[in-house]
Structure formats: structure tokens, C-alpha cells
Amino acid sequence: MSVRFETSGAVGVITLDRPPVNALSREFVSEIGDAVGEAGHPALRSVLVAGGQHFAAGADITEFGEVFDSDADDELAAALGLVVSRFEQLDKPTVAAVSGYALGGGLELALGADFRILADDAQVGQPEIKLGLIPGAGGTQRLARVVGWQTAKRLVMSGRSVPADEALAIGLADRVVPAGELMETARAEAEEWAAGPTRALAAAKRAMLAGYRVEAGLDAELAEFKALFDSVDAREGVTAFIEKRRPDFTGT
């Protein structure tokens, strides 16, 4: 198993453990989904999700490569999108402890948390555009709601990752702490939320989520993401990434 689920008092702790960078494969995403399901237990009053050296450095691109040679739609983004939505809708506060890289699907997972605490050496971003693709698990929608439309547009369209201090400045991080203090700080925050009025906190989440419904945007994002697998540039971008070379995009 690449995902551990543990409890500490009223806090559920989801730990991602697929070395070296927690790349998101279909099986790994399924395991994360199972852990999110366990985190829904009513005895738990807050949830913490964390990685090891890296939170999650995005999708396992080798699985994208398989899509070009099959008639099947890509399933990874759709599966991750469902997991992130379930995580976002948990009826208790959630905290993401972000270490190292949180890129692509890794950042999308962190965006599903109510609060993000970053290690001071963390790097976060949506680099999919560099593959000739776009975020497919909620990145175009949730990022804009967290950091604002124009800032999100620039991040998504440039594919640039940002360091922790910049993430804090734009509102993508709630707190930045020294890397060695990340887990201690995140656990303390999760415990603080767990000691709060859980029903009222859940009600606040539901009311706020109702005010920023993203379903239509998520559907549009996933449709655009899947359509890009018919493009020459996406095939070139993914192939170049796997071959560790610079892509030669033609605009088609």
C-alpha cells in the first residue's frame, strides 16, 4: 500500500508514501480515495493529509503516454477529480501539509483541503501546459477561487511553479513554516480544528461550498483535458517529458 491512514485522537491522518515523489498513478489515486472514505468516519473531527519528502509531484506521466495508443479516454484525471471533490466535501476541517513538490495533480489534491501549510522549501504549481495539456482534476477552477482569476490564469497558462513565500503572498498557502516543523505544525492545527464545534464547522463549509459551485467548470475542464489527447502538441509534450528533452510544439 502506498497510502497510510491512521488516527490520532479525533484527527484522521492520510500519508502519501509512493517514493520518490508520490507520482499519482491510477492505483495510487484509488488508494487515496479509500483513505478519504475512511476519513469520513463520524468519530473523526478533522483530517490531515501529508506526503514525505514531496507532497505529490503530479501525475505519473508514463500513464498519459498509454492514452495516445488506445481508444480509451484518460481515466486518471477523472478519478483524481472525484477524489479531490470527495475530500473537499468532507464534513470536517481538512489540512494539507505540503512538503517539497506539489505540482499538477498534487496541487489539485492540496486545493481540496480547507487549509494549506507549506514547508519553506516547497514548490507548488500547475505545469500541465508544458506538456501541451491543462489541469484536469480541478486546477483551473479551484486555483482561481483561491488566488483570484488573473493570478490563476497566469499560473495555469505559464505552468510556472512558485516557492512557498510567493504561495503565501498570493493566498495559496495559509502558513509557511520551516521544513523541519511542518508536520508538528500541521498536526497541531488539525488538533485545534478537531477541538472545535464540528457540526458548525461542517455547516460553514457546506454553506461556503454552495456559494462557489464548481461542477459546470469541472465538467468543462475535464472535457477540454481529454480533448487535448487528440492534439499533436500533447503527444509531443508527454513524449518529450518521458524522453527528458525539450518539447518541440507546433501549435496543433
128 tagged catalytic? yes
Amino acid at 25: S
How far apart are alpha carbons 247 and 81 in whole angstroms?
Answer: 27
How far apart are alpha carbons 116 and 151 in whole angstroms?
Answer: 18
pLDDT at 68: 66
221 tagged catalytic? no
Q: Are 100 and 122 in contact (CB under 8 A)?
A: yes
Q: Where are the beta strands (DSSP E) in 104-171?
A: 115-119, 123-125, 161-163
Angle at 210 between CA 144 and CA 10, to 5 degrees: 95
Q: Is 19 exposed, middle or buried (0-12, 13-18, 19+ CB in 10 A)?
A: exposed
> For cell 486545493, what's the residue?
111
pLDDT at 130: 94
Q: Are 76 and 42 in contact (CB under 8 A)?
A: no
Cell of 178: 520551516
pLDDT at 65: 61
Residues ≥6 apart with Cβ < 8 Å to 3: 14, 15, 16, 17, 28, 31, 32, 34, 35
pLDDT at 67: 62
Taking CA atoms, 239 is separated from 67, 95, 102, 233, in Å, by 12, 35, 22, 10
pLDDT at 220: 86
The catalytic position among 31, 88, 108, 221 is 108
Question: How does strand 11-16 pair with strand 3-8?
Answer: antiparallel
Domains of the chain: 3-194 (3.90.226.10)
In sequence order, the β-bridge partners of residue 50 are 15, 97
Q: Which residues of the chain have pLDDT under 50?
A: 71-73
The catalytic position among 31, 88, 128, 189 is 128
pLDDT at 70: 61
How far apart are alpha carbons 194 and 179 in whole angstroms?
Answer: 23
